[in-house]
Structure 1
Amino acid sequence: MWESESDLGRGREYGNGVLNSSKEVVKIDGFKRRDRSWYVATDVPSDLLVQVGDVNFHLHKYPLLSRSGRVNRIIYESREMEVKRVQLDDLPGGPDAFELAAKFCYGIAVDLTAANISGLRCAAEYLEMTEDLEEGNLIFKTEAFLSYVVLSSWRDSIVVLKSCEQLSPWAENLQIVRRCSESIAWKACANPRGIRWAYTGKPKKVSSPKWSETKETSPSHNQPVPPDWWFEDVSILRIDHFVRVVTAIKVKGMRFELIGAAMMQYAAKWLPGLVKEDVGEEGNNNKLKDSSWKEGGLHMIVAGIKEDMPSKEHRMIVESLISIIPPQKDCVSCSFLLRLLRMANMLKVAPALVTELEKRVGMQLEQANLGDLLIPSYKSETLYDVDLVQRLLEHFLVQEQIEPSSPSSHSLSQGSPRPNAKMRVAKLVDSYLTEVSRDRNLSLTKFQVLAEALPESARTCDDGLYRAVDSYLKAHPTLSEHERKRLCRVMDCQKLSIDACLHAAQNERLPLRVVVQVLFSEQVKISNAIANSNLKDAGESHYQPVISTRKALLEGTPQSFQEGWATAKKDINTLKFELESVKAKYRELQTEMDNLQRQFEKMSKPKQLSAWTSGWKKLSKFTKTSGVESQEIGNQEPVAAEQVRKPRRWRNSIS
């Protein structure tokens, strides 16, 4: 049965090898401290000085020799006849643990708690306080407290595991870390319905539950247990112990999305600036938003976050988090992975782990956003790491090829294939190219390779590519004509919208050949639209007699097809209207040009006419005369009529 949390502060009292039932505080009458030295309050003078770090203990040999095998060996193996000084600088737990061990040797009651049990257990092992010297020695006492009290309590297991950070490698060798990790994992994976839930401490948002099966909680605290109740407590552990706990939780079958959320909670605490607005994107109702330390309960004994943690420790945390990410897709958000990748590049994490992280990002690249994709470059001269994005695209394309052929993949098992993933990635890449194209150090080759990385089927419209190309031309005005043509090959003029075509037709930065292609492709679109419209009208007139069956045919047509055809019909009508407007405008311009020509001829004086103009006048008179004659002669002289029409056509073409 698990211990009630109300026993945490009281602990257990042992005196002379017998468990005391009285609730006594630790008496310090037997030991007195002066500055950095401890003395035993007795009439017998001390005959042994034990130095532990910078603290001196003035003790007696007999109590220590009766219970410590190490002190026995040090004294009896010494070459000196009378050993009066023993130095134990490497004792685990330091002076605090030795103080408790010394009191135990003198028969003074020792209060065992979760805060001191790990240090005292390691000190007992170091001092070799075994059962061979005396029954019920300190190793037996501390081991019993660990097994029957600490491991049955959630908070005690967390506190002991936290205290083991200063006891390496003793805590590892004595299996304290392993046992606490498995105890925490077992309780985290337990059925929440069996937990009587109550908060510890005053703040209502503290996620430390009270484990109690024997005592009823108040109705106000009796509420459903959230699935992330264990995140906050586990996130206070050092990274190596956190990895041990997460590994044990994986083995016991915890849901991978909860493991991923716990990792994001841990990163929010120990990697400042990594997780900010990413909180809450997964919709799993976790408490990642509140990453500050809270008062009350377990968190009272833990120091604050190390904002000034050296880069070596940051690198260790990043590497450890990468190594324990669950293999399932979507266990963490793509935004979190990209920020982790940004920090991994900055801290120069091991290349193998960086490659593994890039593959994970490629698995869910369609979920990324532009802000997280703009990762600074720490190697090349460019502002952003374009080569990294190129590798992410390659991993994405490889994953796209694997998923359809893998029936055991996660996406297929959940019945959610990604038909539009490439289109979303294409839009993301176009936005990324538009942003990085402003960098003057970005080479044309890198831009072109990244723009052509995705297949043509990924883009139904190349407006995004056109914006990126135009932005690159603005930032690189010194490109040659050949380089501009090469740059424009990345986009398909036939996939540009009407707005993009209008802009491209007036864009002086584009090569002339590209402008012609844009105009030609738009003309082809208009012609095809008119032809389709004419065919449709002809088809409607042809099938006019069977109009009674159209309703049944329309009802049998899918709704999506009907909506698509209605949209296409509307676009065709719009194009026809625009074409008629262009024709009317052309006729107006032709009329205005003829009027201007007449005004010019009236304003011209005979004296200022050139020989060319006078020749034109004579030719016009001859044309008029020939026209009168042709009217008189009629059809008898067809050659003269032909001479009347030719000069008029020539004049119109010249004008």
Structure 2
Amino acid sequence: MKFMKLGSKPDAFQADGGGDSRSYSRRYVLSDLPSDIVVHVDDARFYLHKFPLLSKSSLLQRLIVEASQGGADEVRVDGLPGGARAFEICAKFCYGMVVTLNPYNVVAARCAAEHLGMTEDVDKSNLVFKIEVFLNSGVFRSWKDSIIALQSTIALLPWSEDLRLVARCVDSIAAKATASPGSVVWSYTYNRKAASSDEIVEARRCSSSSPAVPRDWWVEDLCELDVELYKRVMVAIKSRGDRLPSDVVGEALRAYAARWLPESCRRGDTPADDDDACAMEVLETIVWLMPSDGDGSSPCGCSCQFLLNLLKLAVLVGAGELLREELMDRIVLQLPEASVSDLLIPAKPPAQTTYDVELVEALVGRYIRRAGLDDIDGDDVFETNGEADDPSLLALCKLVDGYLAEVAADPNLPVSSFVGLATSMPESARPSHDALYTAIDVFLKVHITSHLMHACLPRIVPYFVMILTRKLLSDAPKSVQGGEEEDLEPDGREEAVQGGEHPRGAERPAPAARGRAGALLRADARGGGEREHVAPAGRRRRRQRAPGTGRRRRRLLEEPRAGAGAAGAPDPVGGPEEADREHEPEAGRRGPPPRRGRRQ
């Protein structure tokens, strides 16, 4: 830290109680001469002498002359920037006492000296001149001193702005932040990768043992600035050419958000009311400062996780629609890079769901429209015969299925939201339905006893049946999945088809899926028409055949079944025997059918 000492006489200022008391109720100078003027500054009274003040300050000259003409020995200085502490610095300079200027008090002293009129017109080498020398030769040449001085300008507005102290501090900081890392020879703070949070890194030029200066070495030091000053500094940094990459600007914004946004918001909790205003201002500033372009991995210089966290905060604090739209437009550019936890954005009342599913639907929909896939058919989402050409689309589909598995446990989740998000992805993006099947399983377990299920069951069943069908089909062996279907007899022999049987040695179609999976698949292949009956477990569905055909039919005609003499005895297999009886005489139905010889 730079400092400058002015004056040579010892400090003779005392306060009530003596010593180094910081009370400004009464301040006086130890001297053989009694004080002849009392100066009121705010709530403090300074018992001083007229001559030292008249020789340095044009304002005090006028006030003292006016008071003397009225027979008074007291004057009041109103609106002095910096208050009593700044006036004490100016008064000590008038007496020639030792006063120390540093980055913390130099701005206040400069504003107070300007207000008191301590310029070259009154006396040569006056306080204004001395302070300007210190600012130009010390403060503005130091990285950290410029930041400290800039912070002190907030309490001194509009004086610090009118004297261009704010602008000069900003220019000094921006010039150093955009300097080449190889030319950095000043101290800076870099705690993100340091073992100790108090470590100060000193980069030395032409030193082979020193580590390389990172491009974002200046990020942490600027995090202590007020949001308005931070905005001005970042604008100045971005306007100084293209030497600063967009990812460095994005890292600076991320560090500032971590410093100033409420911790409750960063955890995803609802912030307190007193945090809303601060969070809103910081959020708007960060979004406004985001680069408009960047490289392919980070189009706006910020990661997708960081952008989703900002969107989560925007929802919690009730940010405006324009701010949310801006964030959503930036998120869509890198949505496949997000994680499921990033998408779990809490819903704000009066929403009944735990998470804001509609917001995620909007993000996915924007990505699909941007990719030119918004004209897909909703039913095509369950087809598995396509190949995913775009890895990002495949990653997004995996993200959506994982998100559905998380939100499916919410009992207030509408069926329409679940189905709408599940059917938003094209067929080429979902080569496997395992993750979606898991989400459906969770959804049904939670909603099967809910009153919502009774009202929405007709709408949701077709989608779930198609997904279940594809799941069962994908679990079956590949040899079973292809070719024309063919039912097998329980004993392993082929069943004859309509109108005859396959000749021996003829080429037979490959076996297909059987049982419940085959029935569901055949019903789905017919385009949603009437579904085939699925026999209970352990029994096989039989096709309708013409009377007198089939091996089993001939066996039944040649050899009567045991116990079949009773009229109306049920057939354990069902179907073929009852069909024959329609072609027999009425009398033949009272007893067992006559024996017939084997066909030669």
TM-score (norm 1): 0.64
Q: Secondary structure at the match of 1:49?
A: strand
Q: Residues 98 and 79 of structure 1: is their aligned pair in 2 closer, same or farther, counting only changes over 3 Å?
A: closer
1:226 to 211, 214, 219: 214
Structure 2 unaligned regions, length at least 5: 18-22, 294-298, 374-388, 487-509, 519-536, 543-550, 552-559, 571-586
Deviations along 1:70-89, one digit per CA (max 9) or x if unpaired, are 33444556798134334446
Q: Which residue of 1 aligns with 2:291?
A: 326
Which residue type is aligned with residue 273 of structure 1?
A: E
Hey, what does 2:306 align to over in structure 1? Answer: 336
Cα-Cα RMSD: 4.6
2-side partners of 1:393 and 1:80: how far apart?
A: 80
Amino acid at match of 1:58: Y
User: Is the Cα contact below 8 Å between 1:275 and 1:336 reproduced in 2?
Assistant: no
Listed one character per residue, the Cα deviations across residues 535-593 of structure 1 (whole Å, up to 9, x for unaligned) are: xxxxxxxxxxxxxxxxxxxxxxxxxxxxxxxxxxxxxxxx969879x99x9999999xx
Is 2:81–2:112's contact at 8 Å kept on the other side of the alignment? yes
- How many angstroms apart in 2 are the aligned matches of 1:27 and 1:335? 59
Matched residue, 2:232: 244
1:13 aligns with 2:1: no
- Report the secondary structure of 1:345's partner residue: helix
User: Structure 2: how far apart are the matches of 1:265 and 1:65?
Assistant: 51
Contact 2:407 2:413 in 1 (8 A): yes
SS of the equivalent of 1:527 reads coil
Quote the Cα distance in structure 1 between the aligned partners of 2:189 and 2:309.
34
Q: 1:198 to 1:117 in 2, by over 3 A?
A: closer
Check conservation: 2:254, 2:306, Cα contact below 8 A: yes
Structure 2 residue 118 is matched with structure 1 residue 135: no
Q: Give per-residue Cα distances to partners, 1:17-70, cap 9 Å, x unaligned.
A: xxx7xxxxx832355554432111122322333333433222233333333333
Structure 2 counterparts to residues 396-407 of structure 1, below 5 A = 396-400=367-371
More deviation, 157-166/249-258 = 157-166
Following superposition, the deviation at residue 266 of structure 1 comes to: 1.8
The answer to whether the Cα contact below 8 Å between 1:438 and 1:475 also exists between their aligned partners in 2 is yes
The one-character-per-residue Cα deviations of 1:595-622 (angstroms, maximum 9, x if unpaired) are xxxxx976x6x9xx854359999643x5
User: What CA distance in whole angstroms lies between the structure 2 residues aligned with 1:86 and 1:616?
Assistant: 137
Which of 418, 422, 440 is residue 451 of structure 1 equivalent to? 422
The 5-angstrom pairing of residues 255-334 of structure 1 reads 255-273=245-263, 310-328=275-293, 329-334=299-304
Matched, 1:429 2:400: yes
Corresponding residue of 1:382? 353
Does residue 27 in structure 1 map to residue 20 in structure 2? no
Deviation per CA, 1:421-468, whole angstroms, max 9, x where unpaired?
222222222222232233233333333443344444443344444443
Q: 1:258, CA displacement in angstroms?
A: 0.9
The offset of 1:374, in angstroms, is 0.9
Partner of 1:175: 164
- Give the direction of change, closer, same or farther, for the CA distance of 1:588–1:38 in structure 2 (3 Å limit): closer
Distance 2:594 2:223 in 1: 101
User: Are residue 366 (structure 1) and residue 354 (structure 2) matched?
Assistant: no
Cα pair distance change 1:458/1:206, threshold 3 Å: same
Change (3 A) 1:260 1:165: same
Q: Does 1:476 align with 2:447?
A: yes
Aligned to 2:482, the other structure's residue is in SS state helix
Query: CA-to-partner distance for each residue in 1:365-399, whole Å, 9 max, x for gaps?
Result: 11111112111111322221122223322443454
Match for 2:239: what amino acid? V
Q: How many residues align?
A: 494
Moved more, 132-141 or 362-371: 132-141
How many Å apart are 1:339 and its aligned residue?
1.2
Corresponding residue SS for 1:114: coil
Residue aligning to 1:559: none
Q: Which has the higher helix share?
A: 1
Whether the 8 Å contact between 1:460 and 1:495 is mirrored in structure 2 is no
C-alpha distance in structure 2 between counterparts of 1:613 and 1:265, whole Å: 84
SS at match of 2:352: coil
Structure 2 counterpart of 1:570:
none
**Cα deviation, residue 485, structure 1:** 3.6
Matched residue type, 1:437:
A
1:457–1:14: structure 2 CA closer, same or farther, 3 Å change rule? Answer: same
Which secondary structure does the structure 2 equivalent of 1:183 belong to? Answer: helix
Counterpart residue type for residue 457 of structure 2: R
- Judging changes above 3 Å, is the alpha-carbon distance between structure 1 residues 207 and 496 closer, same or farther for their aligned structure 2 residues? farther
Which stretches in structure 1 are left out of the alignment for 5+ residues?
1-7, 21-25, 279-306, 403-417, 504-521, 531-574, 592-599, 636-655
**Deviation readout 1:208-246 (Å, 9 max, x if unpaired):** 444777xx98x86x3322223222222222222222222
| More divergent stretch after superposition (66-75 vs 135-144) | 66-75
CA contact (8 A) 2:189 2:221 kept: no
Distance 1:316 1:256 in 2: 22
Residue-by-residue CA offset, 1:89-123 (whole Å, 9 max, x unaligned): 63222322211111112222322212211111122
TM-score, length basis structure 2 = 0.70
